[in-house]
Amino acid sequence: MPDFTPDEMMTIAAARALRNEDVCFVGIGAPSAACNVARLTHAPDITLIYESGTIGTAPEVLPLSIGDGELCDTAVTTVSVPEMFRYWLQGGRVTVGFLGAAQLDRFGNINTTVIGDYHKPTVRLPGGGGAPEIATSCGEIFITMKQGKRGMVDKIDFFTSLGHGSGGDDRARHGVTTKGPTLLVTDLAVWRLDPATKEFTVVSLHPGVTREQVQESCGWTVRFADTLEQTPPPSALELKTLRDLQERTRIAHGEAA
C-alpha cells in the first residue's frame, strides 16, 4: 500500500507542472494547494496572484476564499480588482491560470454555474467569478479535479469557461489566441492535450492505477498515449510540505478547512 493518498498524489503531480518563473492566477481549493506546494518546494520565486488583487502572495495556510486576510497580509502588493483584470490578466502578464471544475469535458470546457437546465437547475453552483476571463487571457490553463462520471462528462450542462470548444481550431475561430487548457491532473492520472484534436489524453497513470479505473470514472471514451508512463510517487519533501501546509490550515481554520 502506498504511504500517500490519491488526493495527495493529485496535488503534488499538479504542483510539479509549475515553473519557478511562472506568474500564476490561482483558483481556490485544490489549485491553491498545488500552487503553494510548488512555491514551498521547487518554485520559490513563483508569483501567485489571487482574484482579490493580491500579487506575490505567500500564505502560510491555505485560504478559504479570495477574501482571506492571509493573502493580503503576505502579498508583495494588493491592487484593485479592475487593475488586476485589465492590466495584469488581460494585459498578458499571467503565464498560467490554475482552475478547478464542477463539470469538465474532453476539450477542457468548464462548468461551474449549474447542473441541469439553467432556468431550472438541479444544483446551482458558485458561478464563474473570474474564471471565464482567466480561461481566455492566461498564457495557458492547468486544471485539477477528482475523477468521477458526474464531473468528467461527455457534454457539460453550461459553458462557464471556454476550453477548446468543440475541439480542433474552435478556440482560435472564436478569436481567442491564448493556448487554453494544456494540462489536467486528477487523482488517477495526468492528462495532456492532443495538439491536433485538442482532446485531453492520458499520458501518465498514478502508482497503482489501471486504465480500467480511469475509464470507469470518466464520462467519455478515454484516449491513452501510445507510450503511457507512471507518475513518479511523491517524495518525502513533497509529502511533508503538503501535510504541514494542510495541518497549519486545519489549526487556523478548524472544520471550515
Domain total of the chain: 1
In a domain, 133, yes or no: yes
What integer is the mean pLDDT of 188-216?
Answer: 97
Element of type H or E holding 15: helix 6-16
In a domain, 112, yes or no: yes
Residues β-bridged to residue 24: 48, 96
Count of residues for the chain?
257
Active-site hit among 8, 21, 51, 140: 51
Exposure of 149 in the CB half-sphere (CA atoms within 13 A): 7
CATH number at residue 142: 3.40.1080.10
Q: Is the pLDDT of residue 175 over 50?
A: yes
In a domain, 199, yes or no: yes
DSSP 8-state secondary structure symbol assigned to residue 174: T
What confidence tens digit (pLDDT) does each residue in 135-164 have? 999 999 999 999 999 999 999 999 999 999
- Is 129 buried (19+), middle (13-18) or exposed (0-12) by CB count in 10 A? middle
What confidence tens digit (pLDDT) does each residue in 121-131 have? 999 998 998 99
Q: How high is the mean pLDDT of the chain?
A: 95
| Per-residue model confidence (pLDDT) at position 1 | 41
Q: List the domain range (segments joined by +) for residue 241.
A: 6-256
The pTM for the full model equals 0.94
Active site residue 51: yes
Residue 162 has a CB neighbour count (10 Å cut-off) of 21
- Measured CA to CA, the distance from residue 186 to residue 143 in angstroms comes to 8
In a domain, 173, yes or no: yes
In a domain, 166, yes or no: yes
In a domain, 169, yes or no: yes
In a domain, 1, yes or no: no
Q: Which three cell numbers stand for residue 146?
A: 477528482
